[in-house]
Amino acid sequence: MSKKTASEEKLDPRVKRTRALIEQAFMALLAEKGFSSITVQDITQRAEVNRATFYAHFADKYALLEAAIQHAFRLALEKRTLNACHFSEANLRALVVTVCEFISQSDAHCKTCDSQFETLVEKEVRRQIQELVELWLEQIGSEIDLKTAATAASWTIYGLALQWSREKGKPRPKAEQFAEQILPLVAVYFKPREVSKTAQG
């Protein structure tokens, strides 16, 4: 328990402070206006940090958003103890629910979700989904090529979750119900080596 996450390793307290200030200011701004209309100036001004200092920590505002999303989604996974666990149908359901809720919370938290914002969310979240799915598949050994299965599964999960989060007309089902519905579409990729015919349907 002595070693925290890599991102929490012993750091100069000034660095921790500065980053925290920047991230806080950034989050606050996201709640007020769209990502593309947020400038580095806005951020550093609200964070009460010099603008040059910002660039000592992040290449640009896109890097900041990426880091923020990475951190936030990791937390979302940990909330359901999906960080480093084994595969099970329950965990797969939990993963889908996590992604659904993360996307809709992102939308809710941000005043104007521009496409740049959504795009970066997608990229980072899908990356983490794939990472986890690969881990699962390594453990159970997949019927088809591992990389292929992981790719197909992660893209399908993210795509469907995104579609769910955008259903406006009809009142959409709860995330749990939705996960249950699409489970058969995703579970295909987690069949271990034994061929079990089509007796399951």
Partner DNA sequence: TTGCTTATACAACAGTTGTAGATAATGTAA
Partner DNA sequence: TTACATTATCTACAACTGTTGTATAAGCAA
* Least distance (Å) between residue 60 CB and DNA: 4
Quick one: what does residue 147 bind among DNA, a copy of itself, none, with the CB cut-off 5 to 8 Å set by partner type? Answer: a copy of itself
Residue 1: in which H helix or E strand, if any?
none
User: Considering beta carbons, is residue 49 or 186 the nearer one to DNA?
Assistant: 49
Quick one: what does residue 49 bind among a copy of itself, DNA, none, with the CB cut-off 5 to 8 Å set by partner type? Answer: DNA
Q: Which one of the spans 11-19, 26-34, 82-90, 165-173 is the region binding DNA (CB under 7 A)?
A: 11-19
State how far the alpha carbon of 125 is from the alpha carbons of 96, 108, 189, in Å.
Answer: 12, 17, 19
Q: DSSP code of 189?
A: G
Distance CA 6, CA 33 (A): 31
Contact flags string 43-62 toward DNA, x per CB under 7 A: -----xxxxxx-xxx-xxx-
- Which positions from 127 through 156 interact with DNA, judged by CB under 7 A? none
User: Considering beta carbons, is residue 57 or 80 the nearer one to DNA?
Assistant: 57
* Least distance (Å) between residue 159 CB and a copy of itself: 3
Q: Is 126 left (phi over 0), alpha (psi -120 to 50) or beta?
A: alpha
Where along the sequence are the contacts to a copy of itself (CB under 8 A)? 115, 119, 123, 144, 147-148, 151-152, 154-156, 158-160, 162-163, 182, 185, 188, 197-198
Residue 168: in which H helix or E strand, if any?
none
User: Considering beta carbons, is residue 104 or 156 the nearer one to a copy of itself?
Assistant: 156
Hunting for tokens 């809709």 — which residue is that?
A: 104
Distance CA 194, CA 141 (A): 10
Distance CA 71, CA 58 (A): 15
- Determine contact, residues 43/25, Cβ cutoff 8 Å: yes
Which residue from 65, 68, 88, 64 is spatially nearest to 76, judged by alpha carbons? 68
Quick one: what does residue 55 bind among DNA, a copy of itself, none, with the CB cut-off 5 to 8 Å set by partner type? Answer: DNA
Distance CA 51, CA 125 (A): 29
* Least distance (Å) between residue 166 CB and a copy of itself: 10
**Position among 5, 39, 105, 177 found at the interface with DNA (CB under 7 A):** 39
Q: By the criterion CB under 7 A, which residues form the site for DNA?
A: 12-15, 17-18, 39-42, 48-53, 55-57, 59-61
